[in-house]
Amino acid sequence: MAFKFGRRFPVGFALSFVIAAFVTLAASAHDAPRPNVLLFVTDDQRWDALGCMNNPVIQTPNVDRLAADGALFTNAFCTTSICMTSRASFITGQYERRHGIDSFGVPLDSTAFENTFPQVMRGAGYRIGFVGKWGLGGTLPKKDYDFWAGFEGQGKFYEEGDPVHLTRKLGDAALKFLDGCSAEQPFCLQVSFKAAHVQDGKSWPFPADTKYDQLYAGVPVPRAATANNTAFDALPSFLKSSIAKERWYVRFATPELFEQSVRDYYRLITGVDHIVGEAIDKLRAKGLGHNTVIIFTSDNGFYLGEHGLAGKWFMHEESIRLPLVIYDPRAASERRGVKVDKLVLNIDVAPTILRFAGLDVPQSMQGRSLVELCQGENPPWRTDFLYEHRFKHPKIPTTEGVRTTRWKYIRYTSVEPIREELFDLHNDPLEQRDLAGSRRHIGVLQRLRKRWVELAHKAE
C-alpha cells in the first residue's frame, strides 16, 4: 500500500494514520481465509509418468498445468516403496520405524492416528473427506471423517456386471464432496486412487477405462536402457528369483506384452488426470479455486521392465522416486512454474499441508514442510535420507539403505551374509555398476554404512 499526502498534516496525525493503516493490513492478513487443501495420491505411479516430467508419450494435461503454474519437485521419493507403509507415512509424516505399519492389516494406534494431518485439521475446524483406497489395516475410520467414500483392500477397477470404471467412481465421489463445500468452512480432501496399480489375479493387470482404448494406440513406447538381459544378469541371485521377476514374465516378457502393458498403465494415469481436471473445474465453478492448494503425488514408484523386474519394493530409482506437484493459487507470479531439485520425501507432505493451513506441526512428525521451497526460498536442506523396506515376504528381500544427492548405498538385510551395494548416481544414473567391492570406494562405503546407522536411529 502506498500513501500519498496531498497537503501537510500534523506529524502526530500522519503517524497515527500510518499506524492505523498497518494495523488494518495486519488484521486483514490475520483474518484471511484459511486455504483449502486437495490431495491426490495415485498408486504405483513412477516419477516420470507425467508430461511435465518430459515423458514423450503420456498425456497428463491437467497435472501439467498445475506444474506450470505451481511447483514441480523433480527429486521426490518415498521412504518405503509399498502401499500401506507409504500411505501411513503420508498421513503421519513419519518413517515406518516410528509409525510401525510394516505389513498389511496393521492399523495405526490411536495416538498416531490423532496426530495425522487430517485429524489435526478436523480438530482445527476443517471439513475433511476421504475418497478411495485407505490402504491400512483395522476398522475403516468412517466416523473420523466428515465425508467418507473409502474402501479397504485393493479394490477392483471393474466390478462384475458394472461397466463403470473405479477411477470414474472415485472422481464422482470427490465431486460430491466438493459440492458440499463452501467458503464458510475450509476443507481438506484426500483422493486416494487405485490407478495405476495392477489388478491382482488372473485378469489383465492393467484394465484401463475402455473410453481410452484408442489412446496411445500405435504410439511407439520406448524401452528403458536397462530392460535387457545384461542388466538382469548383473542382479544378485535372490532378486533374479524374487516375485519381481515372476511378475515381469506376465507384464513385460515380450515386446508386444511390454507395449500393451505400458500403454494401459499410461491410460490408467490419464484417467486420473481427467478427474484432476474435473475437480479443478468444480472448484472454479464454486468460487473456491483461488483459495485451494492442490497437491498431486503417488505412494511409490513402479518398474516398467527395468533390470528385468516388475513391481516395486527395492531401492532402484524406478521403485522409490515419485511425482510431486504442489499448486498454490495464492502464490506470487514470480513463484509460479518453479522446479525444485531438493531431496523431498513422502513424509514431508503432512507437515506441508499443516503449514499451508497455518497449524502447528505435531512433534511426532519427522518430515519437513515444503512451503518455503514452494515460495522460492532456499533454506538449508537434507542431502540424504533413509530408505527402509522391512515388509516380510518369502520372495521380497528386505532392504534398507541411504540415498544421497550423489550416492546410493543398499543393504539387503534378509540374506546371509547381508549384501551391500553402492552406486555413483552422477556417473552411473542407471545403477549398473556396483562399487561396493571397489577398493577405490571403500571410504565412501564406510561413510555410508555409518550414516545408515545414524539415520536409522534417528528415524525411530
Of 375, 407, 434, which one is at a domain's C-terminal end?
A: 375
Q: Residue 179 sits in a domain of what CATH number?
A: 3.40.720.10
Asked if residue 334 is part of any domain, the answer here is yes
Strand order in the sheet with 147-151: 147-151, 127-133, 187-192, 36-42, 292-298, 324-327, 71-73, 338-340
User: What proportion of the chain, given as a percentage, has pLDDT over 70?
Assistant: 93
Asked if residue 18 is part of any domain, the answer here is no
- 8 A C-beta contact, residue 426 and residue 406: yes
- Virtual CA dihedral for 98, 99, 102, 103, nearest 10 degrees? 160
> Which comes out higher in pLDDT, residue 203 or 3?
203
Which pLDDT belongs to residue 162?
95
Asked if residue 310 is part of any domain, the answer here is yes
Q: Which of 105, 47, 40, 97 is closest to 300 using CA atoms?
A: 47
Check whether residue 265 and residue 153 sit in a common domain: yes
Check whether residue 106 and residue 188 sit in a common domain: yes
- Amino acid in position 319: S
Q: How sure is the predictor about 316, in pLDDT bands with cuts at 50, 70 and 90?
A: very high
Asked if residue 11 is part of any domain, the answer here is no
Which pLDDT belongs to residue 31?
59
What is the average per-residue pLDDT within 118-124?
A: 98
Q: Which of 233, 239, 277 is closest to 432 using CA atoms?
A: 233
Check whether residue 152 and residue 284 sit in a common domain: yes
Which pLDDT belongs to residue 265?
98
Check whether residue 136 and residue 231 sit in a common domain: yes
Check whether residue 292 and residue 432 sit in a common domain: no
Whole-prediction pTM: 0.92
Asked if residue 126 is part of any domain, the answer here is yes
Asked if residue 26 is part of any domain, the answer here is no
What is the average per-residue pLDDT within 319-340?
A: 94
- 8 A C-beta contact, residue 389 and residue 398: yes
Asked if residue 364 is part of any domain, the answer here is yes
Check whether residue 321 and residue 402 sit in a common domain: no
Which pLDDT belongs to residue 353?
98
**Could you read off the pLDDT of 122-177 as tens digits, one per residue?**
999 999 999 999 999 999 999 999 999 999 999 999 999 999 999 999 999 999 99
Asked if residue 276 has pLDDT above 70, the reply is yes
C-alpha distances out from residue 187 to 110, 292, 451, Å: 23, 9, 40
Check whether residue 400 and residue 275 sit in a common domain: no
**Could you read off the pLDDT of 19-65 as tens digits, one per residue?**
344 333 333 444 578 999 999 999 999 999 999 999 999 999 999 99
Asked if residue 319 has pLDDT above 70, the reply is yes
What is the average per-residue pLDDT within 416-440?
A: 96
Range of the domain at 455: 388-459
What is the average per-residue pLDDT within 278-303?
A: 97
**Could you read off the pLDDT of 361-371 as tens digits, one per residue?**
999 999 999 99
Asked if residue 294 is part of any domain, the answer here is yes
Check whether residue 39 and residue 86 sit in a common domain: yes
**Could you read off the pLDDT of 70-105 as tens digits, one per residue?**
999 999 999 999 999 999 999 999 999 999 999 998
Q: Which of 380, 180, 174, 162 is closest to 272 using CA atoms?
A: 174
Check whether residue 261 and residue 408 sit in a common domain: no
- Chain centre distance of CA 43: 9
- 8 A C-beta contact, residue 38 and residue 357: no
Q: Which of 445, 426, 444, 423 is closest to 434 using CA atoms?
A: 423
Check whether residue 86 and residue 205 sit in a common domain: yes
Which pLDDT belongs to residue 70?
97
What is the average per-residue pLDDT within 418-445?
A: 97
Give me the phi and psi of 345, to 5 degrees please.
-130, 160
Check whether residue 361 and residue 261 sit in a common domain: yes
Check whether residue 284 and residue 430 sit in a common domain: no
If DSSP codes are grouped into helix, strand and coil, which group holds residue 1?
Answer: coil
Which pLDDT belongs to residue 33?
87
Average pLDDT, the chain: 92
Query: How many domains are there within the chain?
Result: 2
Q: How sure is the predictor about 4, in pLDDT bands with cuts at 50, 70 and 90?
A: very low
Of 375, 408, 430, which one is at a domain's C-terminal end?
A: 375
Of 343, 375, 407, which one is at a domain's C-terminal end?
A: 375
- 8 A C-beta contact, residue 115 and residue 362: yes
Q: Residue 436 sits in a domain of what CATH number?
A: 3.30.1120.10
